[in-house]
């Protein structure tokens, strides 16, 4: 019998993305509770939605910071992007 994978809650919002040469507002979706993250190897995944140019440049930058609506800042590692899309996928950690 296959094991069902636990579905993480999705936390959407708007926040400020910063990466080399850019600082501006984006929408985000985080899969999992951001407040559950602690220092260490634990990470959550999610996606940012912005213009195709910003999404592509964020992916090319490789790393960035996302400030959530609550004011908490998380470090991002960009994981994926499809040319012409408005979405970049990331892993986040404290």
Give backbone dihedrals phi and psi of 41, rounded to 5 degrees, phi first: -80, -10
- Specify whether the CB–CB gap between 39 and 81 falls below 8 A: no
3-state secondary structure of 70: coil
Q: Give 6's pLDDT tier (boundaries 50, 70, 90).
A: confident
Rg (CA), the chain: 13
Q: Give 85's pLDDT tier (boundaries 50, 70, 90).
A: very high
Q: What is the pLDDT of residue 52?
A: 97
Name the residue with higher pLDDT: 94 or 48.
Answer: 48
How far is it, in rounded angstroms, from Cα 94 to Cα 89? 17
CATH of domain 10-93: 2.40.10
Encoding tokens for residue 70? 């609550």
Q: Give the residue extent of every domain in the chain.
A: 10-93
Q: What is the pLDDT of residue 36?
A: 82
Q: What is the pTM of this model?
A: 0.87
- Specify whether the CB–CB gap between 42 and 91 falls below 8 A: no
Q: What is the pLDDT of residue 2?
A: 66
């Amino acid at each position: 019998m296959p094991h069902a994978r636990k579905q993480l809650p999705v936390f959407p919002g708007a926040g400020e993305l910063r990466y080399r040469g850019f600082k501006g507002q984006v929408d985000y979706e985080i899969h999992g509770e951001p407040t559950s993250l602690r220092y260490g190897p634990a990470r959550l995944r999610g996606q940012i939605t912005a213009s195709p140019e910003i999404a592509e440049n964020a992916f090319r930058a490789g790393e960035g910071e996302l400030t959530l609506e609550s004011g908490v800042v998380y470090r991002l590692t960009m994981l994926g992007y499809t040319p012409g899309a408005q979405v970049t996928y990331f892993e986040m950690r404290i």
